[in-house]
Chains A and B, each alone.
Chain A
Amino acid sequence: MKEQDPKLIKKRFLKELKDVKTSEEKKKICKKYLEEDLSSVFSSFKNLPAAEKARVGRGANELKQLLLTKMEMVKETEKEETGWLDVTLPGKEPILGNIHPLTQMQKKCEDIFSKMGFVTIEGPELENEWYNFDALNVKEDHPAREMQDTLFVKQKGREGLTSKEKLLMRTQTSAVQVRYMEKNKPPLRVIVPGRVFRNEATDNSHEINFYQLEGLMVGEDVSVANFKAIIGSFFQNLFATDVEIRLRPSYFPFTEPSFEVDVSCSICKKKGCSACQRTGWIEVMGAGMVHPNVLQSAKIDTSKFTGFAFGGGVDRLAMIKHEINDIRLFYGGDLRFLKQF
């Protein structure tokens, strides 16, 4: 006499099914249970006491459902075998463009600063001497006007023009500082990414045009210590959480005090490698406390407000980040380069 309890039959069925490999055998087992075991349960059903009928009936139905599902599943695997795909063949890709590595770096910087409350703004590339030099405390005769080779615009009777009329290609995004502060009063926090120009021969680390990222924070009691916090957090977000920064004294006409910002080399962890010229540190920015003359150019009350400003090359950051050895690749338009980003 066969086993009559659907629960036990189910258990036995699942075990038998598990023990065989091929779909042929599995099918045979399903068939056997459907035709023999299940029908014997049903045929013995009428002899059961009324109290048992409900329980066994429910179990028998569940068992039937299971047997049918399993049968179906086995049949499906058979079908799949005939409709086999080589899933390792290449897919059909839509052609997507690539965003320039400098845009990507710029965006990354903007995102980090944006979280610290800095707003991104822009300014003109074709600038006048006043915003690029005079307003930034770079006087007519200042050596800094020679330190950077400036691209001046050819203008008739240039000598007779005022510095607001004399045009040039901005040599630094700092030119936007006073433009912005004339229209916006402190407290303010901005960054200015943009293209700048130098009239110098090009090589693997110099270009006639390149990108800078300028930052400016002005408010009550903004200090060097604040700058260290902001810039440290920026580079940790940009490069790696264990990156250190250090400030070294420097000189810029538009900041006082002025410093160079170095970050610890994230490639060699300060041990010294070719990327950092064996020093463990990479110079990435110029910075300082905004010179009172610059604040005064924008008619900001220097007895009340102080601020810091910083500026660095976006190209350089991208070169460090992606280990690119020639700045000219950014402006060469070679798709073999651009398609990598």
Chain B
Amino acid sequence: MRFSYNFLQSFFRKKLPPPEELADKLMMHFFEVEEIEKLRGDTVIDIDVLPSRAADCFSHIGIAREISAITGMKYEKPQIRLKEGRREISDLINVTVKAACLRYTLRAVEGVKVKSSPPYIQKILKSCGIKPINNIVDITNYVMLETGQPLHAFDGEKIEGGKIVVRFAKKREKIVTLDEKRYELNDNIMVIADELSPLGIAGIKGGIVPEVDKSTNIVLLEAGNFDSKTIRKASQHLKLRTDASLRFEHGVPVEFTKEAVGRAVSLITSIAGGKALKGEVDYCQEKRKMKEVTFKAEEVRDILGVEISLKEIERILRSLEFKTKRNGNFFHIEVPYFRTDVSLKEDVIEEVGRIYGYANIKPVVPKAEITSQEESLSLKMESACRKLLCSIGFTETYNYSFINDKVASVFEYENLIEMEKPVSLEYKYLRPSLLPGLIDNIRKNEKNFEDIKIFEIGKVFSSLEDEKEKKKISGISSPADFYDLKGRINAFLEKILVPNVSYSPAPKDSFLDPYCSAEIFSGDDVIGVIGEIPPRVRKEMDIKKRTVFFEIDFAKIILLAKSVKTYDPISRFPFMTRDLAVLVPRKTTYKEVLREVKNAGGVLLRKTELFDVYEGESIPEGKKNFAFRLFFQAKNKTLSSEEANKLQEKIIKALDDKSEWKVRK
């Protein structure tokens, strides 16, 4: 919010520090100063007053009070001098309040001369970004800048029936505002009306009908206080934000109206002439209770971590207009009515801290016990996975957590979680898989890189109750080489101690190419998938090269991975090796054959190596040949040649027993 340096100076007899210095002080003790703008004859200090302090500091008096507390310079509020005539305001006007109006204060001045306002007022308005209109309107704005209370002035002779009603608008009721714009209202929007029609949109903007102009003789000055939520909604609905609505939205203390109207009347009679009518209309829904806070001096020390003298605490609180009583170390505080943000002792201690200055608090290393809490297993594992994937050639990417309609339909996603009013339709749904993001990475990088290997670890989402949010590890590799990727992933899974990893052809409804994709198992649990991106998806996602992908469920890994490796004693006795070749139908998997080999081989078959897979010439059509090397070893003796032969025979028999399988001899 823009504040005029000259206006601020007007509350002080002594000269304020220069704008830059003042801005620095405000920054360290109040709020951030966004900009200092030099104008001719004035300087604007743009202060980012946060919502907590809107009530008292969307005003120059509020800022002056802060300056006074920070610098110790005394500030003075302007004097109010009311010249009242004999005529009673009740003779002129009758006010009824029906709506969400907390307070409504009205005074009248008769015999005014409307002309332009004095230069000092115009200058201050301009500094604060408000256009000068005429002396009456300018004074209402000036008083708003001064006090934080929005005011409105009507021409007292343009009101029908001598009545003002504060009410909700009727459906479809219309109004033309001062800037000659037409608005259609509804029954959630408050208006200030006369007997017939709305005179203004309450708390937001005045209507054109009772406009103050050159011919105006009687001015009605209104200061209302309206429910902040109602004003916020009305302002949003009408797409009309004004200096007044901004203040009401944030809440203005109800106590402000009377003083603000008095101040405006006093300025009008001295600048535009005329006399105030006797008395005022002052509707007030209810008076707020004075807030009281008590605390001990030790509590200030415990929270801030610095010893501040009792005298200094008192000085600070008094400078901010808190009424302070002290009994030994006990403080009893009365919170000034304009400090709507203060209600707890912590709030009061913050006031002490910031005025005292956080810069004056010396760092103190905390006394804390040694905790033995360990980092979560999940995070440790995540970190280990990243390092490993990196070491096997994958680069980490971060993609958006969202997908759009097109992606949803290309991948035929179901059970998506949809966002309410995202800023862009690109963020319409939460991603149910890391795949779309990774595919998009391929698309972007294809033109610059021959060989792409990337991965992401991130959360994916589904509307299904028990799996709303899941962590996945996924990677993609282009150009496609299924066995290369499988080899890397297998090595990766072994390194992170996922036990008994195996692969089975993926079900036909897999989102990957059904002919070259597999489910990854650990024992009987499916932990992920690996396979090729179907050509249709590649085409629709605009990637040229064939690409392979994997996705692993992180929670499963956490569940299954062993935390400790147990040592397997190294046998002192040598291996006996035997080779074996078996012909099987083309679609019989290695996994099936291996299972048979292992079952028959028993514990003495220490390991197997597949050294050749062949189909083609010299082999019957529809068949393929697996060539294994078998390693036999015992833990307690050297196996004899006969023993090894016997074991081999046993395996051969087991394989030959399967229909359509044939061991080659």
B62 to chain A, nearest CB (A): 15
A57 contacts chain B at the CB level, 8 A cutoff: no
Chain B residues with Cβ under 8 A from A217's Cβ?
Answer: 366, 368
Would A96 and B393 count as touching, CB distance under 8 A?
yes
Complex Cα spacing A250 to B28, Å: 10
**Stretch in A2-10, A21-29, A68-76, A192-200 touching the partner:** A192-200
Which B residues from 396 to 416 make CB contacts under 8 A with A? 396-402
B229 within 8 A of A: yes
Which residues of the other chain, B, contact A216 by a CB distance below 8 angstroms? Answer: none
Bound-state Cα–Cα, A319 to B377, Å: 29
A83 within 8 A of B: no
Distance (whole angstroms) from the CB of A128 to the closest CB of chain B: 11
Q: Which residue of A lies closest to B249 (CB)?
A: A143
In the assembled complex, the CB of A249 is this many whole angstroms from the nearest CB of chain B, namely 4
CB contact under 8 A between A249 and B30, given known A97-B391, A122-B376, A333-B445: yes
Interface: A125 (CB within 8 A): yes
Residues of A within 8 A of B427 (CB): 151, 199, 208
Given A223-B305, A225-B306, A289-B346, are A257 and B364 also a contact pair (CB < 8 Å)?
A: no
Q: Is A292 an interface residue (CB 8 A)?
A: yes
Chain A residues within 8 Å of B304, by CB: 223-225
Stretch at the interface among B381-389, B505-513, B616-624, B652-660: B381-389
Bound Cα distance from A221 to B367, whole angstroms: 9
Question: What is the number of residues of chain A that contact chain B, defined by CB distance less than 8 Å?
Answer: 77
- Report the separation of the CA atoms of residues A141 and B349 in the bound assembly, to the nearest whole angstrom: 25
Whole-angstrom distance between the alpha carbons of A225 and B301 in the complex?
Answer: 10
Which residues on A sit within 8 Å (CB–CB) of B453? 95, 97
Q: What residues of B have a CB within 8 angstroms of the CB of A96 in the complex?
A: 390-391, 393
With both chains docked as a complex, state the minimum distance between the C-beta of B444 and any C-beta of chain A, in angstroms: 6
User: Would A256 and B350 be within 8 Å (CB), given that A97-B453, A117-B368 are in contact?
Assistant: yes
Of the listed stretches B79-87, B112-120, B151-159, B417-425, chain A binds B417-425
Decide: A338 and B419 in contact? CB cutoff 8 A.
no
The stretch of B199-207, B318-326, B454-462, B572-580 that contacts the partner chain: B454-462
Least distance between B230 CB and chain A CB atoms (Å): 11
| A260, CB-defined interface residue at 8 Å | yes
Q: Among A117, A143, A225, A334, point to the contact of B445 (Cβ < 8 A).
A: A334
Q: Which of A31-39, A41-49, A99-107, A265-273 contacts B (4 or more CB under 8 A)?
A: A99-107
Bound form: Cα–Cα A144–B346 in Å: 19
Partner among A100, A228, A257, A289 whose Cβ is within 8 Å of the Cβ of B396: A100
Q: Nearest chain-A residue to B475 (Cβ)?
A: A97
B366 contacts A197, CB within 8 Å?
Answer: no
B274 sits at the interface (CB 8 A): no
* A contact residues around B30 at 8 Å (CB): 249
Q: Is B374 an interface residue (CB 8 A)?
A: yes
Say yes or no: B28 contacts A335, CB within 8 Å. no
How far is B423's CA from A201's CA once the two chains are assembled, in angstroms?
6
Give residues of chain B (325-367) contacting chain A, Cβ–Cβ below 8 Å.
344, 346-347, 349-350, 353-354, 358-359, 361-367
A289 / chain B contacts, CB cutoff of 8 Å: 303, 346
> Can you list, as one digit per residue, whether each of B443-472 has a CB less than 8 Å from chain A (1) or not (0)?
011001101111100110100000011000
Instruction: Tell me whether A338 and B420 are in contact (CB under 8 A).
Output: no
Residues on B with C-beta less than 8 A from A291 are: 346
Whether B51 lies near A144 (C-beta < 8 A) is yes
Q: Contact at A246–B359, with CB atoms within 8 Å?
A: yes
Task: For B344, give the chain A residue with the smallest CB separation.
Answer: A292
Q: How far is the CA of A256 from the CA of B50 in the complex (A)?
A: 14
CA distance A116 to B422 in the complex (A): 40
Are A98 and B390 closer than 8 Å at their CB atoms?
A: yes
B566 within 8 Å of A (CB atoms): no
| Residue from the list A119, A122, A247 in contact with B358, Cβ < 8 A | A247
Which residues of chain B come closer than 8 Å to A133, judged between CB atoms? none
A209 within 8 A of B: yes
Asked if A299 is at the interface of the complex by the 8 Å CB criterion, the answer is no
Across chains A and B, which 8 residue pairs bring their CB atoms closest together, nearest first?
Answer: A225-B305, A223-B305, A257-B350, A333-B441, A229-B363, A143-B51, A247-B358, A226-B366
With A199-B422, A256-B350 already in contact, 16 other A-B pairs whose C-beta atoms are closer than 8 Å: A97-B393, A97-B455, A119-B375, A147-B51, A169-B430, A195-B459, A223-B302, A225-B364, A226-B365, A228-B363, A229-B363, A289-B303, A291-B346, A330-B398, A333-B445, A335-B449
- 14 A-B residue pairs with CB within 8 Å: A96-B393, A102-B398, A149-B423, A152-B421, A154-B417, A169-B419, A209-B401, A219-B368, A221-B302, A223-B302, A223-B305, A228-B363, A250-B31, A251-B51
